[in-house]
Amino acid sequence: MTKISSNMMRCNPRLIHSVIVCAVVFGSDGAFAQSGGPADTPAVTVRGQTYTPRSILARNMGSDEDQTTAFPPHKIIGNVYYVGTRTLSSFLITTPAGHILINSTYERNVRTIAKSVEQLGFKFSDVRILLGTHAHGDHQEGDALVKELTGAQVLAMREDVPALEAIKPSGKAHPIDHVLRDGEEVSLGGTTLVAHLTPGHTRGCTTWTMKAADGGKTFNVVFACSYRAPGTVTPDVEAEFTRTFKMLRTLPCDVPLGDHPAQYNMAAKHARLTSGGANPFVDPGNCWGEAEIQEAMFRAQLDLQRKQAR
């Protein structure tokens, strides 16, 4: 592993893995409609809840207001904090040597994120490293503005570099100060994150892991990338997701997080923070619940494509 130190800054229902999968075909639009966003097929039922491509996207993104309205900033565990919006996650990892930010989200959200950081008692200008989960505008469009406001070093997985370079809000070039490889470590002020290449949603989709100390215990925190398959699953994407879903279960996990809050039931867990009980974000039993949903959908999409190709 390469280490970046703080000095560098620089339906026929059937059972698949306990999941009911229903590939229902309406028309010949495939998994995604030609217009109007994702289709309502195929459908998968996981742990008693039914999902379609359309419902998953709606759950993740919410309304325009949800995407731009700050969710109350809060401590998750140890030195990990939430500073994103209602439906777009941004995480702050604080250290004595400065801070790490994961996901700038849209450029229009950057100052909202900065305000959330300040509300927690930290300085946005102390962000030293900016990381991302994947090269889509709703997660990394704001990278250039974060760098402009903080001087942070922007690190990106090698496979996502071309897609990131194409994200140019207001014509700004997308900054990339260091290109990461699978398994690389990023360290700052005693905190180390590991970049795990989990491709499929994008070529360089990155799931980050770290250890957080809280209450005399150490917890494995996972910042999951999106594992949602595109409308058409090509052979390359199939191979990527097959590798990704197999690898994910090998990661130690106590605290599952995601680049959309709904992926880890943030709102419900946040509501329980004031109850005085155990930290609701410590949830090892549901670490791979989102991956289970997305793997079921991925396999249902493949089945649907093959049936339509006959």
Q: Could you tell me if 22 and 12 are in contact, meaning their C-beta atoms sit under 8 angstroms apart?
A: yes
Looking at residue 172, its pLDDT comes to 93
Say how far apart CA 226 and CA 257 lie, in whole Å: 11
Contacting residues for 257 by C-beta, under 8 A, at least 6 apart? 76, 80, 89, 91, 221, 222, 223, 224, 264, 281
pLDDT at 175 over 90: yes
Whether omega before 42 lies within 30 degrees of 0, making that bond cis, reads yes
- The confidence band for 136, taking pLDDT boundaries of 50, 70 and 90, is very high
Residue range 79-89, pLDDT digits in tens: 999 999 999 99
pLDDT at 280 over 60: yes
Least confident of 79-83, 88-92, 94-98, 303-307: 303-307
- The confidence band for 231, taking pLDDT boundaries of 50, 70 and 90, is confident
**Tokens 């100052």 identify what position?**
111
Helix, strand, coil percentages, rounded to 5, for the chain: 35, 25, 40
Residue range 16-33, pLDDT digits in tens: 333 333 333 222 232 333
Q: Could you tell me if 199 and 230 are in contact, meaning their C-beta atoms sit under 8 angstroms apart?
A: no
Looking at residue 21, its pLDDT comes to 36
Instruction: Give me the count of residues in the chain.
Output: 310
104: left (phi over 0), alpha (psi -120 to 50) or beta: alpha
Q: Is 24 helix (H, G, I), strand (E, B) or coil?
A: coil
End-to-end CA distance of the chain: 45
Give mean pLDDT, residues 145-153. 98
Looking at residue 241, its pLDDT comes to 98
DSSP letters, 115-177, are HHHHHTT--GGGEEEEE-S-SSHHHHTTHHHHHHHH-PEEEEEGGGHHHHHT--GGGPPPP-S
Looking at residue 4, its pLDDT comes to 44
Mean pLDDT score across all residues of the chain: 89
Say how far apart CA 54 and CA 31 lie, in whole Å: 9
Give the number of other Cβ atoms within 10 Å of residue 82's Cβ. 23
Q: Tell which wins on pLDDT, 83 or 5.
A: 83
**Token pair for residue 45?**
């039922």
Give mean pLDDT, residues 206-210. 98
Looking at residue 13, its pLDDT comes to 34
Looking at residue 42, its pLDDT comes to 94
Distances in Å between the alpha carbon of 105 and those of 102, 132, 137, 140, 298? 9, 9, 7, 5, 25
Q: Write down the pTM of the prediction.
A: 0.89
Q: Tell which wins on pLDDT, 196 or 3.
A: 196
**Token pair for residue 174?**
């997308």
Check residue 242 and report its DSSP letter: H
Q: Could you tell me if 124 and 149 are in contact, meaning their C-beta atoms sit under 8 angstroms apart?
A: yes
